[in-house]
């Protein structure tokens, strides 16, 4: 078979060539010191490249194991940090509930989850019933109202965000004293709408909007935002655009606020309504 003979001839020729080259290199290395050095450098370079390539391959296949180990170590470190922060909160008086003379209890908290991408957004806080949180508590910052606690577990609270079309806050225009419901405009996380302001109440763009204090949830005079342009609704009231002080897309630390006298207020309201009903 011509092909088999040709292949055998090629292999034989290659073998003879390698043997002759090896013999020549050995002869050179034995006869000249410079040639020995040159050959040694070539062989060492070849060995180094081969070793490096081998190590690279081994390193590549060991990456998964290293990544798994790093992930476990990171989780262990995160757990240590969580324990440290929890202990720090317990030992730090500024992180404990505070009851002030205005009848409100203040509990600092951290937002651990929130939504800003729907018309009915929510907030989850890292404080629950064991921390003294109760339902219908307000949530505030120094720049405004954040929401209202709707449900409480032992360690967490679920709240309706101000960025929820169903939530209204009783608000007051500083210059005129006019009061109306403030709600989210449904578009931007830093804008609201103040509604039902009678036309006889004058205001100026740039007037500050505060909580009115007419709610049993929030105390008065929490700054909320600045009044902007208005439009007349049904020829009877103004609807005023409000630029909020607090951008709700950049929130982490908040304060839960409970009116400790809300039950007393509710009881006297119920008593008065009952008496009026009986009088009829």
Report the C-alpha gap between 252 and 112 in whole angstroms. 8
Enumerate the β-bridge partners of residue 110. Answer: 253
Q: Hey, what are 89's tokens? A: 């909160």
Report the C-alpha gap between 172 and 212 in whole angstroms. 5
Class of domain 98-270: mainly beta
The DSSP secondary structure of 42-90, one letter per residue, reads HHHHHHHHHHHHHHHHHHHHHHHHHHHHHHHHHHHHHHHHHHHHHHHHH
Instruction: Write the DSSP symbol of residue 172.
Output: E
Q: For each of the chain's 280 residues, which pLDDT tens digit applies?
A: 555 556 556 665 666 566 666 656 556 555 555 555 555 555 555 555 555 555 555 555 555 455 555 555 554 555 455 455 555 555 555 555 665 566 888 999 999 998 877 888 999 999 999 999 999 999 999 889 999 999 999 999 999 999 998 999 999 998 888 999 999 998 888 999 999 999 989 888 999 999 998 888 998 999 999 999 999 998 889 999 999 999 888 788 999 999 888 777 777 767 766 565 555 5
Report the C-alpha gap between 148 and 267 in whole angstroms. 21
User: Residue 168: its pLDDT value, please?
Assistant: 94
261: closest CA among 214, 217, 210?
A: 217
Report the C-alpha gap between 272 and 278 in whole angstroms. 10
CA dist list (Å): 80 to 86, 125, 160, 265: 10, 21, 31, 45
Instruction: Write the DSSP symbol of residue 175.
Output: T
Sign for the CA dihedral angle at 78, 89, 86, 135 comes to negative
User: Residue 248: its pLDDT value, please?
Assistant: 86
Residue burial 130-149, b: 16+ Cβ < 10 Å; e: rest = ebbbbeebbbbbebbbbbbb
Q: Name the one residue in this structure whose structure tokens are 């929401």.
A: 147
The model's pTM is 0.62
Note every long-range contact of 33-38, with CB atoms under 8 Å and residues 24 or more positions apart, other chains counting.
none
Local structure of 254: helix, strand or coil: strand
**8 A C-beta contact, residue 125 and residue 135:** no
Count of C-beta atoms within a 10 Å radius of residue 228: 15
Report the C-alpha gap between 246 and 114 in whole angstroms. 15
Report the C-alpha gap between 267 and 274 in whole angstroms. 10
User: Residue 75: its pLDDT value, please?
Assistant: 46
User: Residue 24: its pLDDT value, please?
Assistant: 60
Secondary structure string (H, E, C) spanning 133-170: CCCCCEEEECCEEEEEEEEECCCCEEEEEEEECCCCEE
């Amino acid at each position: 078979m011509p092909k088999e003979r040709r292949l055998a001839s090629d292999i034989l020729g290659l073998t003879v060539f390698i043997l002759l080259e090896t013999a020549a290199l050995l002869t050179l290395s034995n006869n000249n010191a410079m040639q020995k050095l040159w050959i040694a450098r070539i062989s060492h370079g070849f060995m180094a490249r081969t070793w490096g390539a081998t190590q690279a391959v081994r390193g590549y296949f060991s990456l998964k194991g290293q990544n798994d180990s790093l992930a476990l170590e990171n989780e262990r470190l995160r757990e240590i940090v969580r324990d440290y922060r929890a202990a720090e909160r317990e030992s730090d008086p500024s992180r404990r509930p505070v009851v002030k003379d205005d009848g409100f209890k203040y509990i600092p908290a951290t937002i651990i989850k929130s939504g800003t991408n729907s018309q009915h957004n929510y907030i989850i806080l890292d404080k629950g019933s064991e921390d003294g949180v109760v339902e219908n508590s307000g949530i505030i910052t120094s720049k405004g109202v954040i929401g209202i606690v709707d449900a409480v577990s032992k360690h967490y609270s679920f709240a309706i965000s101000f960025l929820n079309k169903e939530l209204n806050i009783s608000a007051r225009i500083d210059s005129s004293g006019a009061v109306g419901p403030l709600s989210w405009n449904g578009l931007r996380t830093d804008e609201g709408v103040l509604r039902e302001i009678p036309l006889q109440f004058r205001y100026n763009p740039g007037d500050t909007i505060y909580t009115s204090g007419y709610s049993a949830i929030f105390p008065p005079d929490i700054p909320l935002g600045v009044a902007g342009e208005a439009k007349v609704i049904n020829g009877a009231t103004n609807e005023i655009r409000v630029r909020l002080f607090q951008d709700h897309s950049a929130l982490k630390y908040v304060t839960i606020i409970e009116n400790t006298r809300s039950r007393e207020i509710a009881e006297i309201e119920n008593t008065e309504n009952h008496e009026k009903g009986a009088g009829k």
